[in-house]
A = this chain, B = another copy of it.
Amino acid sequence: MTDSQPPRTPSAPPPGTFEILAADPSSSARAGRLWTAHGPIDTPVFMPVGTQGTVKALAPWELEEMDCRVILGNTYHLNLRPGMEVMEEMGGLHAFSDWHRAILTDSGGYQVFSLTDLREMTPDGVWFRSHLDGSRLFMGPRESMRIQRILASDIAMAFDECPPCPCTEEYAAQAVQRTIDWAAACSREPRAPGQLRFAIVQGGVYPALRARCAEALLALPGYEGYAIGGVSVGEPDALILPGVEMTVAHLPPDRPRYLMGVGQFHQMAESVARGVDMFDCVMPTRLARHGMAFTRAGRINLKNAANRTASAPVEEGCTCPACRRFSRAYVRHLLMAREILGIRILALHNIHRYLETMREMRQSILDGTFPAFRARIAAAYGPPAS
Q: Which residues of A contact B (CB under 8 A)?
A: 1-2, 52-54, 56-61, 81-82, 86, 89-90, 96-98, 308-309, 311, 321, 324-327, 329-330, 332-334, 336-337, 339-341, 343-344
Asked if B2 contacts A86 (CB within 8 A), the reply is: no
**Residues of the B chain whose Cβ atoms lie less than 8 Å from the Cβ of A340:** 56-57, 340, 343-344
Nearest CB in chain B: distance from A52 CB, A: 4
Interchain residue pairs with CB less than 8 A apart (21) = A1-B324, A2-B325, A52-B333, A52-B337, A52-B339, A54-B341, A56-B339, A57-B340, A59-B341, A61-B325, A81-B333, A81-B336, A81-B337, A86-B329, A86-B333, A90-B309, A90-B329, A90-B330, A98-B325, A340-B340, A340-B344
Counted per complex, copies of this chain come to: 2
Asked if B90 contacts A311 (CB within 8 A), the reply is: yes
Nearest CB in chain B: distance from A103 CB, A: 14
- Interface residue SS majority, chain A: loop
**Residues of the B chain whose Cβ atoms lie less than 8 Å from the Cβ of A329:** 82, 86, 90, 96
Nearest CB in chain B: distance from A228 CB, A: 29
Asked if A86 contacts B341 (CB within 8 A), the reply is: no
Asked if A98 contacts B333 (CB within 8 A), the reply is: no
Asked if B330 contacts A96 (CB within 8 A), the reply is: yes
Q: What is the CA–CA distance of A1 and B314 in the complex, to the nearest angstrom?
A: 12
Q: What is the CA–CA distance of A330 and B90 in the complex, to the nearest angstrom?
A: 9
CB-CB under 8 A for A82 and B1, given A339-B56, A340-B343, A343-B340? no
| Closest chain B residue, CB of each to CB of A326 | B98
Asked if B96 contacts A57 (CB within 8 A), the reply is: no
Question: Closest 4 CB pairs between A and B?
Answer: A82-B333, A57-B340, A89-B309, A52-B337
Among B96, B330, B343, which residue has its beta carbon within 8 angstroms of that of A327? Answer: B96
Asked if A86 contacts B325 (CB within 8 A), the reply is: no
Asked if A330 contacts B98 (CB within 8 A), the reply is: yes
| Closest chain B residue, CB of each to CB of A77 | B337
Nearest CB in chain B: distance from A175 CB, A: 30
Q: What is the CA–CA distance of A56 and B341 in the complex, to the nearest angstrom?
A: 7
**Residues of the B chain whose Cβ atoms lie less than 8 Å from the Cβ of A344:** 57, 59, 340, 344
Nearest CB in chain B: distance from A383 CB, A: 33
Nearest CB in chain B: distance from A369 CB, A: 33
Q: What is the CA–CA distance of A337 and B58 in the complex, to the nearest angstrom?
A: 15
Among B54, B60, B98, B309, which residue has its beta carbon within 8 angstroms of that of A339? Answer: B54
Q: What is the CA–CA distance of A54 and B335 in the complex, to the nearest angstrom?
A: 11
**Residues of the B chain whose Cβ atoms lie less than 8 Å from the Cβ of A325:** 1-2, 60-61, 98
Q: What is the CA–CA distance of A167 and B343 in the complex, to the nearest angstrom?
A: 42
Asked if A57 contacts B324 (CB within 8 A), the reply is: no
Q: What is the CA–CA distance of A330 and B309 in the complex, to the nearest angstrom?
A: 39
**Residues of the B chain whose Cβ atoms lie less than 8 Å from the Cβ of A308:** 82, 86
Nearest CB in chain B: distance from A92 CB, A: 12
Among B53, B56, B339, which residue has its beta carbon within 8 angstroms of that of A333? Answer: B53
